[in-house]
């Protein structure tokens, strides 16, 4: 049985894709069959962080130039990957039917993974909402900045009111310390609970570090380093807490829903 996890954020620039890629790699390194889907169709760039340039993308599948099996790329890190292509393609304006086609097609792949991490576009756009509502669990990435709080709250509010999603895992990125990360979560939870009946779980934090910045520049995920970085420990800790996030029951079509 596959557990699908959408990684999203209220706004861009908070490190959502970096977290999605590193989390997927950590799960793969734990010998869990893992598939990373780049569904950030307006700014698909997970392949850059993986340091690869896949031959096929979701556009080839949608235009029927390739089967989904061919679009799945094996990476050097024992991780399978589905590229979202790039921003200047037809994927920017997918219809509901085409998004549903993508979601349903994962039922037909020959080997189902243990986990699928879905890098979803930031904000409450229709495409992002569809992929979030079709996943088992949702992780929301935010920083301690007020604008990040506001946009993450708006995303959760829209998810709750329009799609009946009420369970969210929260990851604090670019934190100065573990204590600050937990304080930021507590503050965000307090604000959210005043207005919404949702269940938020703190699943971890990633420090504001030069190691992460260097990994982006070098196109090599920080958890792929042979050095025993603190950041790798943080991603491992997040992977152990995924079970704390409860599954959303939205009534939508779902990935791997036979």
> Is residue 14 within 8 Å of 121, Cβ to Cβ?
no
- pLDDT for res 132: 96
Residues 6+ apart with CB under 8 A from 127: 39, 41, 42, 94, 99, 121
Strand partners, 202: 170
- The span from the CA of 231 to the CA of 205, in Å, is 9
Q: Which residue has the higher pLDDT, 42 or 253?
A: 253
> Is residue 51 within 8 Å of 209, Cβ to Cβ?
no
- pLDDT for res 86: 66
Written as six digits, the tokens of 28 are 């793969």
Q: Looking up tokens 């490190």, which residue turns up?
A: 15
* 25-67 pLDDT tens trace: 999 999 999 999 999 887 788 999 998 989 999 888 988 889 9
> Is residue 91 within 8 Å of 58, Cβ to Cβ?
yes
**Cβ neighbours, 10 Å, residue 119:** 28
Residues 6+ apart with CB under 8 A from 144: 172, 174, 175, 180, 184
b/e per residue, 142-167, with b = 16+ CB within 10 A? bbbeeebbebbbebbbbbbeebebbb
- The span from the CA of 71 to the CA of 74, in Å, is 10
Lowest mean pLDDT among 149-153, 187-191, 247-251: 247-251
Which homologous superfamily is 3-244 in?
P-loop containing nucleotide triphosphate hydrolases (3.40.50.300)
* 86-130 pLDDT tens trace: 654 556 678 888 899 999 999 999 999 999 999 999 999 888 999
Lowest mean pLDDT among 183-192, 197-206, 209-218: 209-218
Domain ranges of the chain: 3-244
């Amino acid at each position: 049985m596959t557990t699908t996890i959408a990684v999203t954020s209220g706004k861009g620039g908070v490190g959502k894709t970096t977290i999605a890629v590193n989390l997927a790699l950590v799960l793969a390194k734990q010998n869990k069959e893992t598939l990373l889907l780049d569904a950030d169709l307006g700014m698909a760039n997970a392949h850059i962080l993986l340091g690869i340039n896949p031959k096929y993308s979701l556009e080839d599948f949608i235009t029927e130039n390739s089967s989904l099996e061919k679009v799945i790329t094996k990476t050097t890190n024992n991780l399978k990957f589905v590229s979202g292509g790039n921003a200047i393609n037809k994927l920017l304006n997918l219809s509901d039917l085409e998004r549903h086609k993508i979601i349903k097609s994962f039922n037909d792949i020959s080997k189902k993974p243990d986990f699928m991490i879905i890098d979803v576009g930031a904000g409450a756009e229709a495409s992002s909402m569809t992929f979030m509502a079709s996943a088992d669990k949702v992780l929301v990435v935010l920083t301690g900045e007020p604008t990040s709080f506001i946009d993450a709250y708006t995303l959760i509010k829209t998810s709750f009111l329009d799609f009946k999603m009420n369970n969210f895992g929260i990851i604090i990125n670019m934190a100065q310390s573990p204590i600050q990360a937990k304080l930021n979560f507590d503050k965000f939870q307090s604000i959210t609970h005043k207005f919404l009946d949702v269940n938020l779980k703190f699943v971890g934090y990633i420090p504001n570090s030069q190691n992460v910045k260097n990994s982006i520049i070098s196109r090599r995920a920080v958890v792929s380093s042979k050095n025993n970085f603190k950041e790798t420990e943080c991603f491992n800790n997040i992977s152990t807490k995924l079970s704390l996030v409860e599954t959303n029951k939205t009534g939508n079509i779902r990935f791997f829903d036979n």
